Every structure is written in C-alpha cells, then in structure tokens.
Amino acid sequence: MNGSGSNLAKAIVRWLKVSKIYKFAPEPKDDEQLLVEASEWMAKIDKGLSDEDTEAISIWMSTDPRNKERLFSMARMWDKMDALARLSEVFPRISGAAPHPIQQVSRRFAMAASFVVIFVVGAAGALINQLSDSSLSEPASVAATYETAIGGTSTIELADRSVITLNTNSRATVDFSVRHRIVQLERGELHIDVAHDPTRPLSVVAAGRVVQAVGTSFSVRIDDSQRVEVLVADGRVQIGVREPGTTDTDPSGPAKETANKLLISQAERVVLNSGKEAVEVLAPEEIEVQLSWRSGNLVFRGESLATAVSEVGRYTSVEFVIKNEELRRVRVAGLFKTGDVAGFLSSLEANFDIVHERADDETVLLSAATSRLTDAAN
C-alpha cells in the first residue's frame, strides 16, 4: 500500500489494537497477504466448497484467529455475509468459536471500521484546515499540468496544500490564482483532499460539469462516453453545468455558472451526463471499495465478468476479449492488485472456471472451461 490508503490502513490497525476489538498476533503477517487469502476463500465460498475445501478452510481459520476476522471483513465488503451462513458446520471446529459468529464479528467490525474511517478522514481535514489557515495569507498562483500513464498513479501536493491523487491514464491541469482555484480533469480519474479556503472555493471541471467545494474530500471520474462520476468521501460539494463562454481565467471561476446546483454530501455518489442523475447513498465500506485504487487494489463483489475486465483493462495495455456472450454475465469477486494481469487470469481459472489463451502479446481471449460448460449443460 502507499499514500493515503496506507496511512488509513495503519490508522485502522492501530485503533483496533488499542480498542481490543480484535486480538492481533505479536508479529502479524503482511496485512495485504491476509486480505488476499481471505478474498480467495470468499471466491471459493461463493462458488461452493468441496469437502476438501471445507476441511482446508477450517484448518486455515484455526491456524490464525485473524484469518476468520479477515474473512468476515471480506464478506461484509463484498456484501456476501449470506454466503458465510453456508459454513455453519465449519465454525464448531474452531476452538473457542462463539454462537452466531457472523453477526457478532460483522457488527463489531462494521461499527469499528465506520468510526475509524470517519475519524481518520475528519482528523485529516482538521489538520489541513489548520495548516492552510496559518499559511495561506498570500495565496500562490499556479499553472501546471499533471498526468499518469496506463497503470500508473500519482499524488501531488498543490501550492494551497490541497492533495490530488491521479488514477491510471489521467490528465489534469491546475490553475490557481489569488482569486480562484480551478482543476480541469481532461481524462481519467482524480481524488482530491481540498485545503480550506472560503475566499477561493476550489472547482473541478470535467466534461462540461463543475464540482465545487470549499474544504472537503471527493473523487471525480470521466469515462469514455463522457459520463462524470462524483463521489464525496467527506464534506459536501455543489455540482452544476458550465455555461458556454466561461473561461478558466474568469476571476469568479466556474462557480457562478452553476445555475441549477446539485448538492452532494458525505457518503454520496452521482453519475452525471447519464440521463438519470440520481444521488446514491454509500455505506462506509463501499466508499473504501470505490477508493481502493489509491492503495493499488481493485475489489469486485459480484460484478459481471464484462465489468471486471473493463476495470482491470484500465490499468494495462492488454486487451481482453470474452468469446462467449453468456460468459460476459458471469459474476466474479475478489481482491486484485492493479496491473496484475497474471494474478487476475489465474483467479478466474481457479475460482470461476474461466480459462484464457493469448492471441498475441497484447490480446487475451477468455472462454469457459470444459467443467463450466458441462455444469451448464446439466
């Protein structure tokens, strides 16, 4: 992990240790490895465990108490707690297992995780506010362009102490003056922690839409069809349509063109330019999933293969071709590293009976394994 994702993970682990909600081993394994193992087991559970798998997961959970905790965490993250109910026969094999472990662990973890996420983000915002209030007596003028290659990410601290993280294959221009702060997202995706400065609201312009904030944390993403997704992690933003003729150097910035503003608050998401701009409320764990790319991870919780392949493809030059139309609708789940094509393909074959062949160095063909075709025929 790196950047804000790493800091958040460390803060969560420290808080859980102090709160004694979890019992941690004196010398814990790499936390990412534990999560990967748990995600692999969740994929197998969702697919259905064989007798050998049932015995293996029982042994796996009994060897380290944190394994069961990570499994519950993954189940909650993927919204698959119902799948764990199928394992009721496994829990009695674990020494000291309490009655109804699913409800007890998931509720405690959910409360802890929700509190920690809100606390950590809120504390970061307060720190940024203090720093900016003490150091922005003379706002700096900045004009710069930042971009990332396919598979890359980049975190930049701007002159006003706002912090931008660019996702894969993204490009943004920054125009700050003593009277305005404007970020133009030309392609891709960014997440920004906005430094507090009420005299200069910061606006992100993307595909003709304007997202304005004073001090908050949010993400903006443009897809190939020019739809704009906005997700607010903290605070709130105003969204409007940019009026024709407005220039980036307008002293009042793009804020004044938002005649019919849409207000989006913490833990809410909306997709703009889509014809239906309904605001969606997200649970804290869903926000973590949506922003997992900042830590170099991708989390799928039952998305179609077509959707998962499209997302994985953002981080690589490899093109995926799904040979069967029905296969496009197969649901997949798991935690994957961005850019790890080999790991993704290996998981598809091991957990979802989806095999691959390379047409060339840049093209991978996906098809159903013989076992999947046999099951479908039966």
Q: What is the pLDDT of residue 77?
A: 65
Q: What is the per-residue pLDDT across 255-299, written as a single tens digit (0 to 9) for each?
A: 444 456 889 999 999 999 887 888 999 999 999 999 999 999 999
Least confident of 185-189, 270-274, 344-348: 270-274
Domain boundaries, the chain: 3-117, 138-286, 296-377
Query: Given this model, what pLDDT does residue 371 score?
Result: 60
pTM: 0.65
Angle at 78 between CA 73 and CA 84, to 5 degrees: 65
pLDDT at 12: 52
Give the distance from CA 106 to its chain's centroid. Answer: 20
The answer to whether residue 8 scores a pLDDT higher than 60 is: no
The pLDDT, as a whole number, for residue 309 is 97
Instruction: Indicate the CATH number of 138-286 among 3.40.50.1370, 3.30.2450.30, 3.40.50.150, 2.60.120.1440.
Output: 2.60.120.1440
Q: Which two tokens stand for residue 212?
A: 């304005």
Cα 181 from Cα 192, distance rounded (Å): 13
Mean pLDDT score across all residues of the chain: 77
Nearest to 309 by CA among 329, 290, 294, 295: 329
Instruction: Classify residue 167 by its DSSP letter.
Output: -
Q: What is the pLDDT of residue 372?
A: 58
Q: Is the pLDDT of residue 103 over 90?
A: no
Q: Structure tokens of 56? A: 């293996």
296-377 in CATH: which number? 3.55.50.30
Mean pLDDT calculated for residue range 94-106? 38
Beta bridge partners of 183: 174, 204
How do residues 190-238 score in pLDDT, each as one tens digit? Answer: 999 999 998 898 999 999 999 999 779 999 999 999 999 999 999 999 9
Q: Label residues 306-338 b or e (16+ Cβ within 10 Å = b).
A: bebbebbebbbebebebeeeebeebebbbbbeb
* Total count of residues recorded for the chain: 378
pLDDT at 55 over 90: no
Q: Which residue has the higher pLDDT, 163 or 26?
A: 163
Q: What pLDDT score does 81 carry? A: 59
**pLDDT confidence tier of residue 60, bands split at 50, 70 and 90:** confident
Nearest Cα neighbor of 254 from 326, 206, 305 is 206
pLDDT at 99: 36
Higher pLDDT, 95 or 156: 156
pLDDT at 25: 44
Between the alpha carbon of residue 323 and those of residues 131, 290, 305, 309, 365, the distances in Å are 54, 28, 12, 13, 7
Q: What are phi and psi of 98, to 5 degrees?
A: -90, 160
CB 199 within 8 A of CB 182: no
Of 269, 264, 271, the residue nearest 290 (C-alpha) = 269
What gap in Å lies between CA 31 and CA 133, rounded to an integer? 37
Residue 32, pLDDT score: 66
The whole-number pLDDT of residue 310 equals: 96
Write down the residue that tokens 């900016």 correspond to.
132
Per-residue pLDDT, 276: 80
How do strand 181-193 and strand 202-206 relate by DSSP bridges?
parallel
Is the sign of the CA dihedral 15, 20, 23, 26 positive or negative? positive
